[in-house]
Amino acid sequence: MTVTATETGLAARMRTGSQAEHNDAESSVFMNALLKGEVNETGYAEYLVALRPVYEALEKVGRELADHPVVGALIDAGLERLSAIDVDLEHWAPAGAPTFESKAVANYVARVNATLDDPVLYVAHHYTRYLGDLSGGQAIGKLLGRAFDIDDKSGLSLYEFPAIDKPKPFKDGYRLRLDELDVSEEDRARIVEEVRVAFSLNSAVFAELGRNMDRYQR
């Protein structure tokens, strides 16, 4: 019998407890345009540039916390996205990655780095980005492929996980690991709150990108 995450476990609480913030991020001007295929190559390249420091921080902190009794259960090199982003930037910005100065990105990176001093909260950021890439990110990859007539997945490495055979079983196992984390009820509540923070940080990045839609519009 397959054991699955429960509807009252930490994974479900992280999902339901952050639904409003998640919806806000998805409904931002930039994400709405991206999902409609209305963002051009420049806009998507700057989106990748905005995400890159976040993943760089996530993966650096993750490696430093790999032996942590709580966080270590989630660390998986097969999830890392930094090298995939660099490959994609070569496709979308062959002349060189654009500059995207962003207070929102700096705030996001600082928040991730701060979890070195409070590792339990790293769980929220790991979940928000990586499970998002394996969920809604898959839809974004397909939409981009159609919008730009990409048949060979060039420029879409961010959404490809060669080390993960099938996303759904992996996500089910990931949620189960979340439920099994040995954390107090107080820390569970703190993790849920940090997921809200993570989605809000994403929304702030999207809001900055959205202010450039005059340059990004296809």
What's the rounded Cα separation, in Å, for the pair 179 and 123?
12
pLDDT of 1 higher than 60: no
Listing DSSP states for 128-162 in one string gives IIIIHHHTHHHHHHHHHHHHTT-SS-TT-GGG--T
pLDDT, one tens digit per residue, over 4-36 is 667 789 999 999 999 999 999 989 999 999 999
- pLDDT number for residue 4: 61
Scan for tokens 């990586």, then name that residue: 130
> Of 188, 139, 175, which is closest to residue 159 (Cα–Cα)?
139
State the fold for domain 10-216.
Heme Oxygenase; Chain A (1.20.910)
pLDDT, one tens digit per residue, over 66-116 is 999 999 999 999 999 999 999 999 999 999 988 888 999 999 999 999 999
* Domain ranges for the chain: 10-216
Q: Which two tokens stand for residue 17?
A: 């407890």
pLDDT, one tens digit per residue, over 181-213 is 999 999 999 999 999 999 999 999 999 999 999
What integer is the mean pLDDT of 148-158? 94
> Of 96, 90, 174, which is closest to residue 128 (Cα–Cα)?
174
Contact 21/196 with Cβ under 8 angstroms? yes
What's the rounded Cα separation, in Å, for the pair 51 and 71?
22
What's the rounded Cα separation, in Å, for the pair 209 and 51?
11
What's the rounded Cα separation, in Å, for the pair 159 and 140?
8
pLDDT averaged over the chain?
95
Q: Which two tokens stand for residue 14?
A: 């992280």
